[in-house]
């Protein structure tokens, strides 16, 4: 039987997806058009065939990517996403990119009320695939006993020896910088979720400031809302300039 060109392309992409796995971003329609020497209409027909088979999805800012179930993080308590992933049978890993004692940037100094900090930047992976770029700052005096090996294996919460009261976390939309895009394996400028978390001790002192960058196509935050008086404005919602 004669195989139509878009069906041939769809089969090639099926085989690629089987190799790269879920969540990986595919080349753009323009790049695929050039690779296969066909029009974008033909490429899109092939991709739509795979979407009908639930093998790929598309989202504004990302283009097409291998279909995946989003990684969920519940925000009902102070916890790490790694522990939540382990409960679902997913193997989390930490890849340390930077570990250094440095002068605190202005916004960090303001939040942590100190001039010198330990700065740790890492890539979080789930079953080998990157799902977050995380930067953590803590006062140098609290982190002076820590090593690169320590922060690669255990959460800061368990390492500082300080009783915790809780944290305040803000979540907003952003675009992937060139550095973060390379680490997350997504296109530059693609949508990401930027989360900032300030953790305090039982004495009310700020002890950790962290920034988490998640690819928007792979991430969901789940919040349990207790029953309250009806309101048209979600609790904690604020407008940013």
Distance CA 161, CA 138 (A): 13
The structure's pTM equals: 0.72
Same domain for 211 and 119, yes or no, is yes
Percent of the residues in the chain that have a pLDDT greater than 90, as a whole number: 37
Check whether 119 has a pLDDT greater than 50.
yes
Same domain for 40 and 145, yes or no, is no
Burial class from Cβ neighbours inside 10 Å (0-12, 13-18, 19+) for residue 209 reads buried
Residue 74: predicted pLDDT: 63
Same domain for 25 and 90, yes or no, is no
- Domain span at residue 186 reads 71-222
Same domain for 28 and 95, yes or no, is no
Same domain for 36 and 77, yes or no, is no
The model's confidence at residue 114, banded by pLDDT at 50, 70 and 90, is very high
| Sheet of strand 191-201, all strands in order from the earlier edge strand to the far edge | 92-103, 116-126, 129-139, 206-215, 191-201, 164-175
DSSP string for the chain: -PPPHHHHHHHHHHHHHHHH-TTPBPPPHHHHHHHHTS-HHHHHHHHHHHHHTTSEEEETTTEEEE--PPEEEE-SSS--HHHHHHHTT--EEEEEEEEEEEEPPHHHHHHHT-SEEEEEEEEEEETTEEEEEEEEEEEHHHHTT--HHHHHHS-HHHHS---EEEEEEEEEEEE--HHHHHHHTS-TT-EEEEEEEEEEETTS-EEEEEEEEEEGGGEEEE-PPPP-S--SS-TT-----
- Residue closest to 118 by CA, chosen among 183, 210, 182, 35: 210
For residue range 98-113, list pLDDT tens digits in order: 999 999 999 999 999 9
Find the mean pLDDT for residues 7-25.
83
Check whether 160 has a pLDDT greater than 90.
no
Q: Which residue(s) pair with 73 in the sheet?
A: 221
Residue 217: predicted pLDDT: 79
For residue range 21-34, list pLDDT tens digits in order: 777 788 888 999 99
Check whether 116 has a pLDDT greater than 50.
yes
Residue 77: predicted pLDDT: 60
Find the mean pLDDT for residues 206-234.
76
The model's confidence at residue 87, banded by pLDDT at 50, 70 and 90, is confident
Same domain for 39 and 141, yes or no, is no
Same domain for 145 and 80, yes or no, is yes
- Residue closest to 13 by CA, chosen among 63, 69, 55, 62: 55
Residue 1: predicted pLDDT: 39
Same domain for 52 and 98, yes or no, is no
Find the mean pLDDT for residues 222-233.
63
Distance CA 140, CA 163 (A): 17
Q: How many domains does the chain have?
A: 2
Task: Note whether 194 and 174 are within 8 A (CB).
Answer: yes
Averaged confidence pLDDT in the chain: 84
Whether 123 is covered by a domain: the verdict is yes
The model's confidence at residue 220, banded by pLDDT at 50, 70 and 90, is confident
Same domain for 101 and 152, yes or no, is yes
Residue 206: predicted pLDDT: 94
Residue 96: predicted pLDDT: 95
Task: Note whether 121 and 135 are within 8 A (CB).
Answer: yes
90: domain CATH number?
A: 3.40.1410.10
51: domain CATH number?
A: 1.10.10.10
Same domain for 201 and 164, yes or no, is yes
Same domain for 186 and 203, yes or no, is yes
Same domain for 108 and 38, yes or no, is no
Residue 241: predicted pLDDT: 54
Distance CA 146, CA 116 (A): 15
For residue range 127-136, list pLDDT tens digits in order: 888 889 999 9
């Amino acid at each position: 039987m004669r195989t139509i060109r878009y069906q041939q392309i769809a089969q090639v992409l099926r085989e690629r997806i089987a190799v790269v796995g879920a969540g990986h971003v595919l080349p753009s329609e323009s790049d695929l058009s050039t690779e296969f020497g066909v029009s974008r209409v033909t490429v899109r027909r092939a991709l739509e065939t795979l979407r009908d088979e639930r093998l790929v999805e598309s989202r504004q800012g990302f283009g097409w990517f291998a279909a995946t179930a989003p990684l969920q993080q519940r925000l009902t308590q102070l916890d790490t996403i790694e522990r939540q992933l382990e409960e679902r049978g997913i193997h989390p890993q930490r890849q340390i990119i930077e570990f250094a004692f440095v002068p605190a940037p202005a916004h960090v100094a303001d939040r942590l009320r100190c001039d010198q900090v330990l700065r740790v930047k890492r890539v979080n992976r789930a079953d080998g695939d990157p799902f977050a770029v995380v930067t953590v700052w803590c006062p140098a005096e609290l982190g002076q006993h820590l090593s690169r090996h320590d922060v690669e294996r255990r959460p800061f919460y368990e390492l500082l020896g300080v009783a915790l009261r809780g944290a305040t976390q803000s979540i907003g939309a952003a675009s992937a910088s060139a550095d973060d895009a390379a680490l997350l394996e997504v296109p530059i400028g693609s949508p990401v979720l930027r989360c900032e978390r300030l953790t305090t001790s039982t004495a009310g002192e700020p002890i950790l400031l962290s920034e988490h960058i998640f690819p928007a196509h792979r991430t969901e935050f789940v919040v349990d809302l207790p029953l309250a008086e009806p309101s048209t404005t979600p609790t904690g919602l604020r407008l940013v300039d």
